[in-house]
Amino acid sequence: MKKYNVAIVGIRGVVGYVMYQILKQRNFPVNELRLVSSNPEECPAYEFDGRSIKVTELTHDCFKGINIALFSPGADVSKEYAPSAAEAGAIVIDNTSAFRMDPDIPLVVPEVNPHDIWKHKGIIANPNCSTIQMVVALKPLHDYAKIKRVVVSTYQSVSGAGRQALDEFEHQLGGDMKVEALAYQIAQNLIPQIDVATENLYTKEEMKMVNETKKIMGDDSIKVTATCVRVPVMWAHSESVNIETEKKISREKAIELLKNAPGVTVLDDLPAKQYPMPLFVAGKDDTFVGRIREDETIDKGLNMWIVADNVRKGAALNAIQIAEEIIKKDHQ
């Protein structure tokens, strides 16, 4: 089997480290693994395939010989260095917001629009975590009945705000209520703002869900409105999603479609108290869907509860699944 030289940019971050773990877990065909950071002196050595790997300093010249570059260092860093990696011959899969809405750069969820991968000119964008899990569940329903409108409220875990926020949350659970990483104390609290406010008084996170959903689904006619909330949970985002479709979908048909969809696990038995929860979804690869029921206020409406590990499926795994689609072509 052909092997690939892979770089991870942002190894010190939550997502970068999970990318490193998933490459090992999924036996990705790695020849050389190059771990990259802007502060390599602060990084330990990492083990991969029985070898000790020292972290490489991030420079414009550090991508020579790399085939696939997995980026998760922050949008400004990606904007500066991802083009250099692409110019060096790597296919860049970028997890930041830097390139997502660039019309010349594909925005990909492999279960939804894998065909868009091949439109790339060296860079492929990984969508926002909350968008990824939603469109994985929406795709089979849209293909069957065409979704007209989506109303989504998110319950987003602290890990989505990064390592400092996670550490701060842990300290607050232990009684240290110092607030630095987030705008407010998150322990015993909900914060109904993720990212900055935009002119329309939605947040940037909410508008990501609106715009990215349309791009990934390839349908600008889908109307999306979102409210994004940070909740005191370590791992895994949850979403309450209401959809209106052109063609009616019964609960039974929705379950059938979702059970047959790639990357989806249906967990739906309300009388038996069976439904997705962050506690049990954290660390899993799939997007979990439950509480599926028809909206009794409209003729063609459906409610769902969607939960996925935001760092895993919502970031690191999605990027590596894109890479796996790329290398499939070499092995056909």
β-strand pairing of 301-308 with 147-156: unpaired
* Residues 170 and 292 occupy one common structural domain: yes
Cα 39 to Cα 11, 14, 43, 86, 155, distances in angstroms? 10, 15, 7, 22, 33
Amino acid at residue number 171: H
Helix, strand, coil percentages (3-state) for the chain, rounded to 5, are 35, 25, 40
Number of domains comprising the chain: 2
**Sign, Cα dihedral of 41, 234, 152, 183:** negative
Q: Say if CB 58 and CB 73 are below 8 A apart.
A: yes
* Residues 116 and 184 occupy one common structural domain: no
* Residues 255 and 143 occupy one common structural domain: yes
What distance in Å separates the CA atoms of residue 246 and residue 62, rounded to the nearest whole number? 51
* Residues 163 and 298 occupy one common structural domain: yes
Would residue 129 show up in a list of annotated catalytic residues for this protein?
Answer: yes
* Residues 155 and 60 occupy one common structural domain: no
pLDDT in tens, the chain (332 residues): 799 999 999 999 999 999 999 999 999 999 999 999 998 888 888 999 899 999 999 999 999 999 999 999 999 999 999 999 999 999 999 999 999 999 999 999 999 999 999 999 999 999 999 999 999 999 999 999 999 999 999 999 999 999 999 999 999 999 999 999 999 999 999 999 999 999 999 999 999 999 999 999 999 999 999 999 999 999 999 999 999 999 999 999 999 999 999 999 999 999 999 999 999 999 999 999 999 999 999 999 999 999 999 999 999 999 999 999 999 877 66
* Residues 53 and 143 occupy one common structural domain: no
Angle at alpha carbon of residue 225, lines to 321 and 296, rounded to 5°: 100
* Residues 122 and 240 occupy one common structural domain: no
The CATH code of the domain that includes 223 is: 3.30.360.10
The CATH code of the domain that includes 64 is: 3.40.50.720
Q: Say if CB 241 and CB 169 are below 8 A apart.
A: no
* Residues 173 and 225 occupy one common structural domain: yes
* Residues 119 and 167 occupy one common structural domain: no
DSSP state of 158: G
Query: Range of 136's domain?
Result: 130-310
Q: Say if CB 79 and CB 57 are below 8 A apart.
A: no
Residue 332's pLDDT is: 60
Question: Which member of 62, 129, 142, 228 is catalytic?
Answer: 129
The strands making up 147-156's β-sheet, listed across from edge to edge, are 223-230, 147-156, 237-245, 301-308, 287-294, 264-266
Structure tokens at 325: 């689609």
* Residues 89 and 67 occupy one common structural domain: yes
> Which of 264, 262, 218, 239 is CA-nearest to residue 107?
218
* Residues 47 and 78 occupy one common structural domain: yes
Q: Give 92-127 as a DSSP string.
A: EEE-SSSSTT-TTS-B--TTT-GGGGGG-SSEEEPP
Question: Which member of 62, 142, 228, 237 is catalytic?
Answer: 237
Q: What is the model's pTM?
A: 0.95
* Residues 157 and 263 occupy one common structural domain: yes
Q: How many residues comprise the chain?
A: 332
